[in-house]
Structures are given as C-alpha cells and as structure tokens.
Amino acid sequence: MNILEVKQVSKSFGNKQVLNRISLDIPKNSIYGLLGPNGAGKTTLIRIINQIINNDEGEIMFNHKPITRTDIQRLGYLPEERGLYGKMKVGEHLIYLAHLKGMKGNLAGDVIRQYLKEFEIQGWWNMKVEQLSKGMQQKLQFIIAIMHKPEFVILDEPFTGFDPVNIDLIRNKILELKAAGTTFMLSTHRMESVEELCDHVTLINKANKVIDGEKYEIKRRYSENLYQIEYAAQEPFLKIRESRYYSLTDNSATRIQGRMALKIQLKPGSRINDVLPELLSDIEICSVNEIIPSMHDIFVSLVKENNNE
C-alpha cells in the first residue's frame, strides 16, 4: 500500500522544463531514495509535495486522496536550504515550530526536551541558534522534521555537516522510526547512505525519471554476471583455463589476504553451478562471491548515458 503517489507531475519555470510527467509510488513504511545530479529537479518535486510551489500538471495523492494543506501537518520536512531563525533561542524556536505543527501546551515542551536529551544537546535550550555550528543546527532541523510524529518525512541531504558519529546517530534514528511505522523520502548524494538505508530508489535526470524500483532489484538488473573466486594457492599468478561457461576478466589471479582471487564473467545461459565443477578440478575454492554493482556505479553510468542521448 502506498502512502504517497506522484502522478504525471510536470513543472516549468519560464522556458525551462524542470519536471516532465514524473510518477512515483512510495510504499508505506519504507525509505524511498530520490536521486539525481544537481539541477535534476529533485528539490522542485519535494517543494511541490510540500505545497510550497504548485505543479503545472499532474497530482499528488496522500493516503489515496489529493494532498491538502491540512495533510502537510502530517508530514515532516528537512530542507536542503536551512530555514532557522538565528536570533531565537533553541528552546523557544522548537516550541514555536511545534505549535505550528499542532503540538499543544506541555506536550510540545516534554517531547522537545526528550529529543534534546536523546541527541545529547539538552544544554542548548537557552542558546541562540546563530551560536550553533552548521552540524548543530542540522540536528535541530532533524528534530523539527520528526518531533510531531509525522507519517511521512522528507529529508533533503540530511547528513550535510555531520561527523561520522552524528551520521550514525541520525541514521539509527531514521531506522528506529521506520521500524515504528514512519515512511521516509531521502534525497542525498551520499550513495553509501542509499546503500545502507533505502528500500526503493528513483533516479531523475534532466527533468525525467530515468529508473525506479526496489534497490536490490535495480542492482540485480545491472549486474553483469561477475563473480570473484577465492582459492588456496601459493603461486602469485596462477593461470586458470577458460571454458564454455565463463571468461576471465583479468589474465591472471591476484593475491588477497593470503589467498588467490580470480574474477570471472559467466557466459550467456551459464550458471555459477556450471562453473564450480570445472574449477574444483584445478583449484581448492575457499569462497565464491557475486560482484553486484554499487548504487554509485549505477548512478554514474545512467547519468552519463542519459546525458549522451
């Protein structure tokens, strides 16, 4: 079941087409990666979903109904361009924004104090926002996005300005909230975050959707039937004969942590089970691992291909 559906959404600014009939289906209780190079149209789409700007064509459905401004109260949003009020104190700033999201009275204060404690920043209550570093302000933005317990949270480059410790802190909170039923849209250039977190991925380039689907299905789709075979041997360049089932990607093996490693590519119609009996007659196999392309490699390949069309 989908929590949010983008149906044939288009947007232009003057003569520039920014989004061209984009459609997305975002399943409930998932982390949905929205990817693309700079200028692809991601932020424009995010602003349309949040009803900050209007689309020219198409519609946005939230829980199977056209999204309304009332629904925005049930969304969380961490924008790429931060929008904090520098002269306000942290505590009053958070209380003010909590009230705008419909949190009332003591509840807002209690929830905010709990989050400040959880993120180990309870001493910031009376500090002015402008006194905080970019990373510290980013923590506030993240708390603002989730403190009202939204059903759907959009995070636009949420890890900017964080050190590895705080990246882990935010990542773990995202996973905790997902486990509790929250759905996320994650827009980021950090492909390692996509690998770790996302269930589904859409790539937008030059206003058009290039690919979308489950992350692991996309990675499988772009795999090239490559395998790394590690085997026990002392010879640094042991030659292995080719066969009707596979070809060598390199002319010789290389040494990895005391073992030899060989990369092979299966020929069309072949399976790894066909290969192993042949190899076992020549070598003592220690491990067999399929080489799956990373999201980084797929991203770069598809963007280059799309730009050359």
**Helix/strand/coil percentages in the chain, nearest 5:** 35, 30, 35
Q: Does domain 2-220 have CATH number 3.40.50.300?
A: yes
**Digits of tens for pLDDT over the chain (309 positions)?**
899 999 999 999 999 999 999 999 999 999 999 998 888 899 999 999 999 999 999 999 999 999 998 888 889 999 887 778 888 999 999 999 888 888 887 888 899 999 999 988 888 889 998 898 888 888 899 999 999 999 999 999 888 878 888 889 999 999 999 999 999 999 988 888 899 999 999 999 989 999 999 999 999 899 888 998 888 876 644 456 667 888 877 666 677 777 888 888 899 989 999 988 888 877 888 889 999 999 988 888 888 887 776
Which residue is listed with tokens 């795999």? 223
Q: Please give the DSSP secondary-structure letter assigned to residue 245.
A: S
What is the C-alpha separation between 251 and 203, in angstroms, rounded?
36
Alpha-carbon Rg for the chain, nearest whole angstrom, is: 24
Q: Where are the domains of the chain?
A: 2-220, 224-290
Query: Which residues pair with residue 9 across a beta bridge?
Result: 22
Q: Which of 153, 279, 202 is nearest to 33 (CA)?
A: 202
